Structure 1
Amino acid sequence: MDSRIMHQLTYGLFVLSAAENGKDNGCIINTVTQVSAAPAHVTISVCKQNYTHDMIARTGRFNVAILDITAPFDLFQRFGFQSGRDADKFAGVETIRTANGILIPTEHVNAWFSGKVLQAWELGSHSLFLADIEGGEIMSGKEPATYAFYHKNIKPRPQAGKRKGWRCKICGYVYEGEELPPDYVCPLCKHGASDFERIE
């Protein structure tokens, strides 16, 4: 299958946050889907390598902040290109702590909601969590950011000719080497070898 097909799907962009034992964490996800209106239920798909995934799996609680089109690239770097195991992703970020005890960023956020996990399934590299919506609020109300908008307007364009190797089409990470191992996983965004392109 041509891996570019999956890039044609439309997604929103979200900061998924969780808290456990006094530690706050968050990550960028693009897979949040409303699956029921009454009761209000959503599913979220989270990469198992993310620390936020482990916190949600243990606590059964999370928040989703729906990012708007004003979100700058450094917000995606902060929540998407480093691990909460090693960094405090919320340091220096304007936040509020919601009724479930979990932080959300308040800038560049269209709206947010809290979820309580009802059921979970392991699906290869990700887990799918079905959750009940417990609360939420409209914030900026500005147009939500989409994955396509991010790639067209937010993500910096790579500078051609600067480095040789393989570039991740998702986040721009460059693997320097002649051959990319078929089982290689991007250390930043956790996408596989099929999402890399050769650069000369």
Structure 2
Amino acid sequence: MDLTALFKMTYGLYVVSAEADGKKAGCIINTATQVTAEPPRMTVAVHKDNVTTGVIQKAGAFTVTALDMTADMPYIGNFGFRSSADYDKFEKYGCAESAVGSPYSPEHVCAVFACKLIDTVDVGTHYLFVGEVVDAQKLSDEEPLTYAYYHSTLKGKTPPKASSYQA
């Protein structure tokens, strides 16, 4: 089997975030998808070992921001290559609060989606969180950042906890 065929799947880059018991957490993901229009629902895949996973479960809600083409590697590294366990990822780039009480950074973001957690599916190394979108806002007219652009132009790497990681 040629698993590199999966590289032909299209993805974006997103930050998924939540807050529970005073703990803010967020991480970069490439797997966020609208799954229904009425009611509006989306799914995100988050590695089981991420701090963000536990915070989403405790909060019962999450927020997804779609990164735009202005996002650079320092911004992506801030949310993608550090742990929320011992670092405030929102301090450097500003912090707003979504309609579900989740923190998010509005910088380098073209849209934000506030979701109430309605289901969790165990898919092996990751949980697939299903959320009902209770609020959505377009924050800019910038184009969304694709995962292909992240790899080809920004020369970004796929970390081991990414849903598309291959050793």
Normalised TM-score (structure 1) = 0.78
Unpaired segments of 5 or more residues in structure 1? 157-168, 172-185
Task: Please say if residues 25 and 52 of structure 1, whose CA atoms lie closer than 8 Å, have aligned partners that are also in contact.
Answer: yes
Counterpart AA for 1:48: K
Counterpart AA for 2:121: W
The aligned counterpart of 1:170 is: 158
Task: Please say if residues 42 and 132 of structure 2, whose CA atoms lie closer than 8 Å, have aligned partners that are also in contact.
Answer: yes
Higher mean C-alpha displacement, 97-106 vs 140-149: 97-106
Shift of 1:191: 5.3
Measured on the aligned residues, the alpha-carbon RMSD in Å equals: 1.7
Shift of 1:27: 0.1
Residues 1:51 and 2:51 are matched in the alignment? yes
Shift of 1:153: 1.7
Counterpart AA for 1:17: S
Shift of 1:44: 1.0
Give 3-state SS (helix, strand or coil) of 1:54's partner: helix
Residues 1:33 and 2:26 are matched in the alignment? no
The aligned counterpart of 2:127 is: 127
Shift of 1:22: 1.1
Give 3-state SS (helix, strand or coil) of 2:129's partner: strand
Q: Which has the larger radius of gyration?
A: 1
Residues 1:82 and 2:70 are matched in the alignment? no
Shift of 1:21: 0.9
Task: Please say if residues 111 and 141 of structure 1, whose CA atoms lie closer than 8 Å, have aligned partners that are also in contact.
Answer: no
Give 3-state SS (helix, strand or coil) of 2:153's partner: helix
Counterpart AA for 1:118: I
Give 3-state SS (helix, strand or coil) of 1:195's partner: coil
Residues 1:195 and 2:166 are matched in the alignment? yes
Counterpart AA for 1:3: L
Unpaired segments of 5 or more residues in structure 2? none
Residue identity (%): 40
Shift of 1:15: 0.6
Question: 2 CA distance for matches of 1:112 and 1:101?
Answer: 13
Give 3-state SS (helix, strand or coil) of 1:99's partner: coil
The aligned counterpart of 1:106 is: 106
Task: Please say if residues 111 and 140 of structure 1, whose CA atoms lie closer than 8 Å, have aligned partners that are also in contact.
Answer: yes
Question: 1 CA distance for matches of 2:90 and 2:158?
Answer: 23
Normalised TM-score (structure 2) = 0.92
Aligned pairs, how many? 166
